[in-house]
């Protein structure tokens, strides 16, 4: 095994990566959508948006793998960013750079790898890759390479679009990358309770200047019975899928965190009561409309949602959450799988 070479523009590359303010932040649907397309178009079980920091690589989006970070020393993407254009490995076991790599010898047992660099800034610094991984040796066709290049360009567009709201920017500017990692729920990869409450307080600061904000409390219906019947690992699968479907149903400017257990808190920026109810229905239906695929088989899952909107009087975050909780209990009392507002 050979460690990745250091790019000639390493200092500038790391500065460009840091300026994005993206390391250590939760997954976003806009990137997950791209990695899902990559697995389908290139018929690969694993696809990643990988960002290569000074000593590790971190996955902004990951399909087919639970790991979110690895050492840079063993990263395939560390090699890929040293190349201008596609980087292809058809059989890692036959390549001296990778044959002894822990990710080849052990899980996920990488055999084939294809990546295209993600470039940012005026200097076109290669901060990471869009890559696909297969567990069998394979050749990648010219169409595969074209699809990978096009999808990487979409990743670059999304990064440059930079959906950093004012409150996210404030939060990320104040916190170092290590602190950001401590703000992520390890199971769902959403903001944890402390982080989402911090974001709520900042949103309310904007609301007091005239910008409406609504908050939704989402609770999985009959979740205890899932754990009791199928076990906690399946319950964890359900929670991860709920998190993914919530992310897919909200706007880029909205935020979601795991509030505790099977409860999630959604912050709907610049959203009054009327549109908050529409957003709540969209989340509810996105979760309920198709069964969840789990190791125990398909499961029908529903959620109840309580929504509260910031009123004309100053309201602290915990009071707004308490109002959401009351609406949530009303939704459960009225039959579950519904949205109630206060």
Q: What amino acid positions are annotated as catalytic residues?
A: 262
Residue 305: give its domain's CATH number: 3.30.70.270
Q: End of a domain among 112, 141, 162?
A: 162
- Which range marks the domain in which residue 277 is found? 167-341
State how beta strands 255-260 and 69-71 pair.
Answer: unpaired
User: In terms of domains, do 137 and 181 share one?
Assistant: no
In a domain, 200, yes or no: yes
Tens digits of residue pLDDT in 249-288: 998 889 999 999 999 999 998 888 889 999 999 999 999 9
Which range has the worst mean pLDDT, 27-31, 78-82, 170-174, 336-340?
170-174
In a domain, 284, yes or no: yes
Closest C-alpha to 183, from 170, 197, 167: 197
User: In terms of domains, do 156 and 181 share one?
Assistant: no
Higher pLDDT, 251 or 131: 131
User: In terms of domains, do 186 and 330 share one?
Assistant: yes
User: In terms of domains, do 158 and 175 share one?
Assistant: no
User: In terms of domains, do 14 and 133 share one?
Assistant: yes
- 63 with 42: CB under 8 angstroms? no
Tens digits of residue pLDDT in 162-176: 645 566 666 666 666
pLDDT above 70 for 142: yes
User: In terms of domains, do 289 and 232 share one?
Assistant: yes
In a domain, 125, yes or no: yes
Backbone angles phi, psi at 21, to 5 degrees: 65, 30
Mean pLDDT of all residues in 19-36: 89
Higher pLDDT, 174 or 80: 80
pLDDT of 312: 55
User: In terms of domains, do 198 and 153 share one?
Assistant: no
Work out the percent of the chain whose per-residue pLDDT is above 90. 74
User: In terms of domains, do 129 and 183 share one?
Assistant: no
pLDDT of 214: 92
pLDDT above 80 for 314: no
pLDDT of 172: 65
Q: End of a domain among 146, 162, 178?
A: 162
User: In terms of domains, do 190 and 158 share one?
Assistant: no
pLDDT of 206: 73
In a domain, 4, yes or no: no
pLDDT band at 8 (very low <50, low <70, confident <90, very high): very high
pLDDT above 90 for 216: yes
Work out the percent of the chain whose per-residue pLDDT is above 70. 92
DSSP letter, residue 341 = E
pLDDT of 306: 97
pLDDT of 237: 96
Residue 85: give its domain's CATH number: 3.30.450.40
C-alpha torsion sign, points 220, 167, 25, 275: positive
Which range has the worst mean pLDDT, 1-5, 125-129, 175-179?
175-179
Task: Determine the 3-state secondary structure of 52 from DSSP.
Answer: strand
How many domains are contained in the chain? 2
User: In terms of domains, do 183 and 302 share one?
Assistant: yes
User: In terms of domains, do 171 and 194 share one?
Assistant: yes
Give the HSE-up count for residue 57: Cα atoms under 13 Å, Cβ half-sphere.
27
> Mind giving me the DSSP string for 136-191?
S--PPPHHHHHHHHHHHHHHHHHHHH----HHHHHHHHHS-HHHHHTTB-TTT-SB
pLDDT of 177: 63
pLDDT above 90 for 151: yes
User: In terms of domains, do 333 and 188 share one?
Assistant: yes
- What is the rounded end-to-end Cα distance, in angstroms, of the chain? 60
In a domain, 82, yes or no: yes
- The string over 324-342, giving b where at least 16 C-beta atoms fall within 10 Å of a residue's C-beta and e elsewhere, is bbebbeebeeeeebbbbbb
Tens digits of residue pLDDT in 179-207: 777 889 999 999 999 999 988 988 887 77
Q: End of a domain among 119, 142, 162?
A: 162
pLDDT of 133: 98
The whole-chain average pLDDT of the chain stands at: 91
In a domain, 5, yes or no: no
108: cis peptide before it, omega within 30°? yes
């Amino acid at each position: 095994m050979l460690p990745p070479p250091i790019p000639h523009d390493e200092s500038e590359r790391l500065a460009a990566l840091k300026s994005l303010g993206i390391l250590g932040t939760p997954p976003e649907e806009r990137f997950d959508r791209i990695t899902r397309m990559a697995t389908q178009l290139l018929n690969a079980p694993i696809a990643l948006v990988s960002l290569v920091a000074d000593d590790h690589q971190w996955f902004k989006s990951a399909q087919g793998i639970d790991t979110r970070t690895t050492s840079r020393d063993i990263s395939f993407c560390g090699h890929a960013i040293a190349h201008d254009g596609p980087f292809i490995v058809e059989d890692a076991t036959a390549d001296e750079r990778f044959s002894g790599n822990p990710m080849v010898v052990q899980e996920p047992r990488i055999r084939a790898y294809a990546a295209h660099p993600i470039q940012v800034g005026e200097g076109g610094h290669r901060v990471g890759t869009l890559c696909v991984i297969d567990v069998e040796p394979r050749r990648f066709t010219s169409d595969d390479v074209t699809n990978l290049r096009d999808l990487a360009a979409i990743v670059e567009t999304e990064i440059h679009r930079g959906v950093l709201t004012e409150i996210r920017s404030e939060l990320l500017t104040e916190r170092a990358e290590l602190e950001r990692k401590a703000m992520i729920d390890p199971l769902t990869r959403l903001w944890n309770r402390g982080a989402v409450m911090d974001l709520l307080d900042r949103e309310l600061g904007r609301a007091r200047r005239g910008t409406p904000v609504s908050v939704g409390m989402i609770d999985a219906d009959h979740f205890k019975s899932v754990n009791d019947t199928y076990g906690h690992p399946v319950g964890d699968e359900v929670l991860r899928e709920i998190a993914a479907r919530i992310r897919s149903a909200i706007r880029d400017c909205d935020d979601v965190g795991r509030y505790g257990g099977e409860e999630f808190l959604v912050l709907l920026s610049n959203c009054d009561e009327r549109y908050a109810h529409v957003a709540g229905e969209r989340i509810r239906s996105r979760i309920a409309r198709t069964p969840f695929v789990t190791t125990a088989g398909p499961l029908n899952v529903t959620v109840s949602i309580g929504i509260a909107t910031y009123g004309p009087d100053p309201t602290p975050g915990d009071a707004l959450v308490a109002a959401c909780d009351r609406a949530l209990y009303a939704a459960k009392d009225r039959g579950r799988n519904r949205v109630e507002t206060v």
